[in-house]
Amino acid sequence: MENRMNVQSRNIAATPAISITNLTKRFGGHTAVDNVNISVPPGSFLVLVGPSGCGKSTLLRMLAGLEPPTEGEISFGGKLVSDGQSGVMTNAAARDAGLVFQSYALWPHKTVEGNIDWPLKVANWSKKDRAERIDEVLKFLDIEALRDRYPAEISGGQQQRVAIARTIGPRPGILLLDEPLSNLDAKLRVDMRSELMRIHRATKATSVYVTHDQVEAMTMATHVAVLRDGKVEQFGPPDALLLKPQTTFVATFLGTPAGNLVPVIRNGAALSFNGIDLASADLAPGLNHAQLLYRAQDMTVGSREGRPGLKAIYVKSAPIAGQSMVTCLIGGLRVTAMVDGFFRAEPGAEVDLTFLRAPDAIFNTDGKRIST
């Protein structure tokens, strides 16, 4: 009996909280989400990140039950909630999922307390239980003093807290967040990242967070899906995507500052750029053209004995943690290098740009990684 219970517990633990299989969404002739496959365990914080128009919000709306898929399936905790082939489409209210909108979408005619109370009432909570839960989430989000105010009477940051309180009130198993910080100023965004992570830890809800901000993605996620043109470019833990990007898009989209891609050609036994040998041609077997990835810390301004370098045009610099992030141009190629201390030069001045280390990765001309 005990062994059977242990097996059942392991099976429950092994069931993904969210499973997305061959998910596709078309609007007429436009494919917004293209054959997406993602699976995350319970308690994960999944971030969907990518540029505007990449399909991340459409994907979130399908998870929320606001859009039916054209093809593919979505399951929550092993239960099928959407199926494009059979037409299965579980009602949004029956998915045990809460959605925080980008615009907060608070009811303007209801007080803060009323906004939090309404979803609980719809879910048939008793009056006593609703009152207790409202007190709990008001205290949890430190908005007790706002109880009797209306949305128009509170700030954007306070509205965001109210929107989160309303969403977590019914204790959903899955929390969906559609760029909830985009309307906040820079400092408040940083503060609210920590707040959202605290909420995630406390509620233990599996979270799916949409953003175009890669810093938010790297800061908050347990799992990241980088989307581009409706497809998943790469999926995995944040550190894996940073350390081993599988495409040039991921390599240059993630990281601060972004990585530098240097186009090279085969020159005998070397891969060369602007007549300078940078790496062994053995790293790109059979290829006459390739792209080398250099992190900003792999390059610097100023010559170094024994290291390859070339002339570049200084564009700008920005201080960051005791160093300077220096941007230069080599012909039409824009590159970023790190320099110790404070660095400044006249824009347009010629500087020496040096490659300090071997390339971090090598990609073919189609943008696919070819090195380990």
pLDDT, tens digit, 9 for 90 and up, residues 238-291: 999 999 999 999 999 998 888 999 999 999 999 999 989 999 999 999 999 999
Evaluate if residue 94 carries a pLDDT over 60: yes
**In CATH, which of 3.50.50.60, 2.40.50.140, 1.20.58.1690, 3.40.640.10 is domain 257-363?**
2.40.50.140
Tell me the per-residue pLDDT of 61-74, one tens digit each, with 9 for 90 and over: 999 999 999 999 99
Higher model confidence: residue 192 or residue 11?
192
Evaluate if residue 59 carries a pLDDT over 90: yes
Question: What is the reported pLDDT for 105?
Answer: 86
Question: What is the reported pLDDT for 8?
Answer: 45
Among candidate residues 365, 371, 301, the one with its CA nearest the CA of residue 329: 301
Q: How far apart are CA 116 and CA 303, in angstroms?
A: 62
Residue entry with tokens 């009323």: 114
Higher model confidence: residue 321 or residue 5?
321
**In CATH, which of 3.40.50.2300, 3.40.30.10, 3.40.50.300, 3.30.540.10 is domain 17-251?**
3.40.50.300
17-251 shares its CATH topology with 257-363: no
Evaluate if residue 205 carries a pLDDT over 50: yes
SS3 track for 260-324: EEEEEEEECCEEEECCEEEEEHHHCCCCCEEEEEECHHHEEECCCCCCCEEEEEEEEEEEECCEE
Tell me the per-residue pLDDT of 96-119, one tens digit each, with 9 for 90 and over: 999 988 888 899 999 999 999 999
Residue entry with tokens 């010629």: 350
Helix, strand, coil tally for the chain in percent (to 5): 30, 35, 35
What residues contact residue 232 under an 8 Å CB cut-off, 6+ apart?
36, 37, 38, 225, 226
Q: How far apart are CA 263 and CA 181, in angstroms?
A: 37
Question: What is the reported pLDDT for 306?
Answer: 84
Domains in the chain: boundaries:
17-251, 257-363
* Arithmetic mean of pLDDT, 117-136: 95
Evaluate if residue 11 carries a pLDDT over 60: no
Tell me the per-residue pLDDT of 132-165, one tens digit each, with 9 for 90 and over: 999 999 999 989 999 999 999 999 889 989 999 9
Question: What is the reported pLDDT for 305?
Answer: 86
What residues contact residue 176 under an 8 Å CB cut-off, 6+ apart?
60, 63, 64, 97, 98, 99, 100, 207, 208
* Arithmetic mean of pLDDT, 192-198: 88
The neighbouring-strand residues paired with 270 are 267, 280
Question: What is the reported pLDDT for 221?
Answer: 94
Task: Supply the mean pLDDT for the chain.
Answer: 91
pLDDT band at 4 (very low <50, low <70, confident <90, very high): very low
